[in-house]
Amino acid sequence: MSEPPSDLTQTPPTPVPAAADRRPTVAPASPASPDPVSLLGRPRRRRLWRAIPKAWRTPLGLVAGVVAVAWLVIAVVGPSIVPHDPLAQDLPRFQPPSSTAWLGTDELGRDVFSRVIAGARVTILLSLLLVCLSMLIGSILGVVAGFFGRWVDEVIMRLTDLVMAFPTVILAMVTAAALGASLLNAVLAALVVSWPSYARVVRSMVLSLRTSEFVASGRLLGFSPVRSMRVDILPNVAGPTLVMASLDIGTAALLLSGLSFLGLGAKPPMPEWGSMVATAVQNFDKWWLGLFPGLAILTVVMAFNFLGDALRDQLDPGATKA
């Protein structure tokens, strides 16, 4: 396979650790560009504002950042700040939102607000876990495939073809059904379908890096394949892979909620947004049952997607904005 000239191969001119070149310097914003809040005028605020990397200084990036951070905080401290025990069935059933139960109560008299808050930990932490795992597995396999080429490449790439040929949700459903319904199995099921895209992207980057001069000179200096991969290749693929991963968190959250919605993820009585929406479908005249977990999914997915966009603009300024 002949590589088309790519900016990746051109960027590192010398065997100097290439990551330094790829890592964008946090450039101070040019004074000419008016920032949305620079009208505030106070120097201290302006300094704070400038401390935010430029790519993040868009309304969407800001809102997304705030929402995502808020959800992360809720995921960490949530269970200790809920007004009710999310599992306690001690309130009247099907109460609409009121001062005692802010978001109403569900079919068993549990507080919906507490369950939405408690559900953040389940969904967000598992999504992060899933994305980290698929990035790790996908990247390792991708680097190996790209670096060694030949039959190793063939085997790994045909494996990705195999997995990618299946419809994502169906394959995840089959895996979850075979392993039994539980959240960990849902993560495993989602992992099965999510690593190939990382393997593909990383492999293509490695293919173009492999022939570049700084890698070749490293090998000529006597670097072992493992050292070459670690020192010369990995730092160059890390950035784009991270961008991809951040864009994937929202999708992961959606896939995990989807599996729970289908009864293949969270086991009752665990508070989980997807299964809460599933119960709401059975009682759809009780609007509060589905609206709030649905909003939670929506905000998490959108926040992490915009966050991913901002991260991409920062790490990969050459790419055109979506």
Residues that bind another protein (CB under 8 A): 87-89, 93-94, 107-108, 164, 167-168, 177, 180-181, 190, 193-194, 197, 244, 247-248, 250-252, 254-255, 257, 263, 267-269, 277, 279-287, 290-291, 294-295, 297-298, 301-302, 305, 322
Closest approach, Cβ 298 to another protein, in A, equals: 5
Closest approach, Cβ 5 to another protein, in A, equals: 26
| Nearer Cβ to another protein (214/304) | 304
| Nearer Cβ to another protein (105/228) | 105
Q: Establish whether the linkage from the previous residue to 59 is cis, with ω within 30° of 0.
A: no
Closest approach, Cβ 282 to another protein, in A, equals: 6
Round to whole Å and give the CA distance between 137 and 235.
Answer: 16
| Nearer Cβ to another protein (218/239) | 239
Closest approach, Cβ 199 to another protein, in A, equals: 12
Round to whole Å and give the CA distance between 180 and 120.
Answer: 23
Q: 62 near 307, Cβ under 8 Å?
A: no
Q: 257 near 273, Cβ under 8 Å?
A: yes
Phi–psi pair at 111, nearest 5 degrees: -75, 120
Nearest Cα to 246, choosing from 158, 172, 305? 305
CA 186-63-128 angle, 5° bins: 20
Give the Å distances, CA to CA, from 147 to 35, 235, 237.
44, 14, 12
| Nearer Cβ to another protein (17/294) | 294
Closest approach, Cβ 311 to another protein, in A, equals: 14
| Nearer Cβ to another protein (62/291) | 291
